Structure 1
């Protein structure tokens, strides 16, 4: 019996000795950034011995989704299983930028201590001088010259001490100001990096010692990207250049250093499960008697989400800009069945920071026609508009756009492809050389009472003067009121040749105005309503 037990213990010890634990280094090689969240790919190169080995991948962000972990590998081994665990004793590796800040803070603190020491020496010297004012002893008489010399010495030295001490105080004050700024920066960085880490344990089995190449994929939160655009027009005869950019952000606590970056228009947070329609029942409302209950009822909601994987100077300046090579020249756009993926060939570094990293995605020259537009009821200035076509295949997302015309920043606008039809209209700014006036024609305005109703007549004239040295095409917009009450009737008596939409009341003229020419349009309408009623805004 004892002999059998010894053999069992021996076999058990041999088996336990074959179960090795090995901590391995890994690096981030690829990152696919979704609109919300990101997929990280890490590579591991190591060597395993015969038997079972637990490879521990350390220093990972604690914000990874354990359900999303995938491991693949090459080598003569078998992957037995994967586990994930939090490590509350170890923090993420401190980046070089944070180490530099901490070193700078330590240096400044040493400088403050040195200045304080110098001040202390001066204080000691001052105390020594003040405590030794009896010169030459009580029995020795000093001449006037000797007394004057000693008095001058005391005065000069004490003045020097006071002046030097003030200089040290000034230095300490300035250093402290720098210390406060550094501490703020360090605090901001610490919020991103001073977190607990997590670990992935990969259990593998090998018949013999061999090399192992592993790839680990997982999804992380606190990461994503959002679009930003630049719209540039050189003049009214050139296409509009659209620069598609991405603001990539992440605060996972680990730096994505020199990684292959992909940007996906997918959003794992929205989920990938099709919603189901359930039977829609109708019934009469029944009175319900409510009773006051003690305590509270807790409701639990379960959420299921399936991460998606996957003229001149202006012209010269524009040509020079076109010659500049950007990341956009190294991006390949891949259209998948459901989304678009922008594959960036150049390696990128995205720090864990509260500020996003701007990445150029693509540049496109889009066909555009130019015309002016004015709504003088709201604003008498004419706005130059670019009508852009053939934008549908660019995989645009809603986002802000900076608008430039003739090399000058004009304004910010917002592109929403979901609300754009075939033509994308972009405002390029005001042109004061087109003078527009809208006047009420008093001779045609009247109010009459017919029976129990009142009838008011209105007339407006809009004049457009072109002071430019070239002809312009301009769209003039105005409106007639639209009734929301059957007792109020609106009648267009003269639309003045405008296109008239009865549903919206919108009037629209398309005018071609030659240089130094003035064109005028007039429209009239009537409003009929019951006598004694007041219509606000009429």
Structure 2
């Protein structure tokens, strides 16, 4: 998004020297409400990354540029924002929060053959992510893992667990298979709460064929 023309009203008179150098002026101090959530990709990192989603309820357009992030008056990180229109939402990463513990249990793989007349290879992959909220407040956590995609109709990939056809009995958990073929778990964890996210799938292919498994992140 680009703004062809944007103007701001400066709240107080300021003197800008004609010295050819950039000068900073306070255009406004905005009090915006944010919602916080955590993103976890256990396959890549056993850390929970805090994110703030903020709705621009002010009467000002926010211009793209660098941003310095502070929490409780403590510097957290440098970031940047894109152009934000009035009424739009923007996200800011706030770094790792050690109050959310993530355990990614080792992947278990088994190989087997099935069928009597027409034999096939069957590979089963299982693992589990365990998340614990050690904080004193409720948190919302989004967990992502990759579900393999086959471009060959002779290679069948089946999701065993979670079963997307069944509604999770825990109303605080939602599971979605995204268009990117990634599984997304949304978990609402109370203080000291925890969740276990098992993930299992099978890959089946003709017995006389060799299959090379390649992971792309």
Range class of TM-score, shorter chain: 0.7 to 0.9
Please say if 1:464 is aligned against 2:140: no
The equivalences for 1:91-490 within 5 A come to 266=4, 339-344=5-10, 346-353=13-20, 355-390=21-56, 394-417=60-83, 422-442=88-108, 445-450=109-114, 451=118, 453-490=120-157
CA distance in 1, matches of 2:34, 2:178: 30
SS at match of 2:180: coil
* Aligned match of 1:520: 196
5+ residue gaps, structure 1: 1-34, 36-264, 267-338
CA distance in 2, matches of 1:518, 1:430: 18
* Cα 1:422/1:378, change in 2 over 3 Å: farther
* Cα 1:393/1:452, change in 2 over 3 Å: farther
- Normalised by the length of structure 2, the TM-score is 0.75
CA distance in 1, matches of 2:133, 2:18: 53
Aligned CA RMSD, in angstroms, stands at 3.0
* Cα 1:487/1:380, change in 2 over 3 Å: same
5+ residue gaps, structure 2: 169-173
CA distance in 2, matches of 1:382, 1:426: 14
Higher relative contact order (CA 8 A, sep 6+): 2
* Cα 1:454/1:392, change in 2 over 3 Å: farther
Q: 2:175 aligns with which of 483, 493, 499?
A: 499
CA distance in 2, matches of 1:485, 1:393: 53
SS at match of 1:379: coil
CA distance in 2, matches of 1:482, 1:513: 30
Query: Are 2:81 and 2:92, in contact at CA under 8 Å, matched by a contact in 1?
Result: no
Bigger radius of gyration: 1
CA distance in 2, matches of 1:350, 1:414: 28
* Cα 1:400/1:488, change in 2 over 3 Å: farther
* Cα 1:452/1:466, change in 2 over 3 Å: same
SS at match of 2:28: strand
CA distance in 2, matches of 1:469, 1:394: 35
More helix by percentage: 1
Query: Are 2:176 and 2:185, in contact at CA under 8 Å, matched by a contact in 1?
Result: no
